Structure 1
Amino acid sequence: MSEDAVLVRIEGSIQIVTINRPAVRNAVNKAVAVGLANALAQLDAQADLHVGIITGAGGNFCAGMDLNAFAQGGSEPVVEGFGFAGLCEAPPKKPLIAAVEGHAVAGGCEIAMACDLIVAGRSASFGLPEVKRGLVASSGGLMRLPHRVPYAVAMEMAITGEPISAAQAHAYGLVNRLVEAGEALDAALRLAEQIDANAPLAVAASKRILASSRTWSDAEMFELQRPIARAVNASADAIEGATAFSEKRKAVWQGR
């Protein structure tokens, strides 16, 4: 695996992961998939890391699977248990933000949607053009997209293969924050800092409930939520949060 396919740097409690194949618009090969899987395993494993950001080098987020490498006999860029790009089937438990500039198409769009939040520069575009290549967007795109944009918009994107602009994606609710071109990573860092200021156990539990509850029935949802919330509400951090509020000071989270 090329050591440079994926770059990782840490800023405080925030992990920044960069897909680093700008010559091919950060298309995903096996090296990228393994690199992303390893980086996100680190994010979940290290208690001192609270939030992750994925971005792309050279002005693009990701153009999807490297079709040239695949056509030349390269292995499919999946990681067992984690799927395409090492995350699409099993994103990390901790919050993950996509900082998108330029193209986020095909598998690149699927990577962005596997993240919890998306920050995009105004020149970015999002699309699932697989039908134009005789393929199906099978790495989560067709399943996640109708939950992130209106159904009719998702259907049009899926069966025409045409992209939407960052402004459209923001208007539909796919993009959380729309910023000037070139500013997506800085804005994603500011968003990550807002998340990082909160209690990590509470953040992780909130993400888990929000993501899981889509499949919970009305009859069972409170019963399924109860043990997740109860564990956090009985934690030392919950006492610290209440105490800090009472004492009018900043809370010091311990993650327990």
Structure 2
Amino acid sequence: MSAINGGSIIDTEGPVADGDVGYAVDGAVAVITLDRPWAHNALNVHMIRRLAEAMDAACCDQEVRAIVLTGAGEKAFSAGGDLGELIPRLTKGELEILVPDPAKRFFSDAFKPIVAAVNGICLAGGLEILLGTDIRVAAEHAVFGLPEVRWGLVPGGGTHVRLPQQVPWAIAMHLLLTGDHIDAPRAAQHGLVTEVVAAARVRERAMEVAGDIARNAPVAVRTAKEIAVRALGNEPRFALELALNERVLRTEDAVEGPRAFMEKRSPRYRNR
């Protein structure tokens, strides 16, 4: 069973290792799929590790010139971290699951272009993953948000650094501080996604864009992205986010929020 509470993070019943990350190569394009559609592609520990492995495979394959990242099914790219398995491990101190290197975040050292096909819900950790991609094609019904503060958490996967770089400050702060979400047209208006298409076209369009990239000179393409990414100088900013995220994860509120979600009640925060 799975449920969404307030357009938020997912909790599930059943094996904690269910779900996977698919990997396939279509010509010069690698396709990586978050594959847990019955739980809106909510991320567990197994999937985070498999995602890293899939991205490494694409980056190491000399025949792959572009990457498409999407979610399985028609409802979700990813609704974030699994509150029943992933988040409790983070609050117990296993932050290296999410951030194995303090100076890196999702795909921050992957210099092959990544095109996201956002086929629905893109919240919390799903949005953090999206911020590590380069070009984003969204379905008309997609929604984007960061509900972590509602549950005593913060999005510690690079969002505090990347989001204000990619959208206007006031929009970034609205998403970070309210836990609210925005729809696909507004996300495109503020530059969070590149374009919005009909749901039936989202993956096809992402493959078209990736194909256009793959036809260009591969060394030039990789170098163009590497220059742009390295020029941001985000490594020390990521390290700062990690240090402050650890402070939040050690609080009683960080334990109370996910517990309240699982118990289907309003959280009782104590500011400590």
TM-score (norm 2): 0.73
Aligned to 1:62: 78
The Cα shift of 1:82 comes to 8.6
Aligned residue identity for 1:195: I
In angstroms, what is the RMSD of aligned CA positions? 2.4
**CA distance 1:131–1:73, change in 2 (3 Å):** closer
Q: 1:149 aligns with which of 140, 162, 167?
A: 167
- Correspondence 1:82-121 to 2 at 5 A: 88=106, 90-121=108-139
What corresponds to 1:32 in structure 2? 47
**Using the alignment, how far apart are the partners of 2:211 and 2:163 within structure 1?**
27
The question of whether the paired residues in 1 share the 8 Å contact of 2:141 and 2:183 is answered with yes
Instruction: Please show how residues 174-213 of structure 1 align to structure 2 within 5 Å.
Output: 174-213=192-231
Alpha carbons 1:130, 1:161 under 8 Å: kept: yes
Aligned residues: 214
Alpha carbons 1:100, 1:120 under 8 Å: kept: yes
Could you tell me how far apart the structure 2 residues matched to 1:66 and 1:83 are? Answer: 24
- 1:80 and 2:80 correspond: no
The offset of 1:90, in angstroms, is: 3.3
Question: 1:181 Cα shift?
Answer: 1.7
- CA shift at 1:79, angstroms? 6.3
The alignment partner of 1:135 has SS state of coil
Selected match of 1:18 from 33, 54, 79: 33
CA distance in 2, matches of 1:204, 1:109: 24
Residues 81 and 87 of structure 2 are in contact (CA less than 8 Å); yes or no, is this contact kept in structure 1? no
Query: Aligned to 2:149, which of 131, 138, 152?
Result: 131
1:44 is aligned to 2:59: yes
Distance 2:161 2:23 in 1: 29
> C-alpha separation between the residues in 1 aligned to 2:190 and 2:36?
30
Q: Distance in 2 between matches of 1:53 and 1:40?
A: 10
Of the candidates 188, 203, 212, which is equivalent to residue 170 of structure 1? 188
For 1:43 and 1:126, locate their aligned partners in 2 and report how far apart those are by CA, in whole Å.
26
2:187, 2:193 within 8 Å by CA — same for their partners in 1?
yes
| 3-state SS of 2:222 partner | helix
Local SS of the residue matching 1:144: helix
Give how far 1:92 is off: 1.4
1-structure distance, mates of 2:124, 2:109: 18
Q: Residues 80 and 57 from structure 1, CA distance in 2 versus in 1: closer, same or farther, beyond 3 angstroms?
A: same
TM-score by length of 1: 0.77
Q: Displacement of 1:116 after TM fit?
A: 1.1
Q: Which residue of 1 aligns with 2:267?
A: none
Higher relative contact order, structure no. (Cα contacts within 8 Å, ≥ 6 residues apart): 2
Give the structure with higher Rg (CA). Answer: 1
The gaps in structure 2 that reach 5 residues or longer are 1-15, 235-272
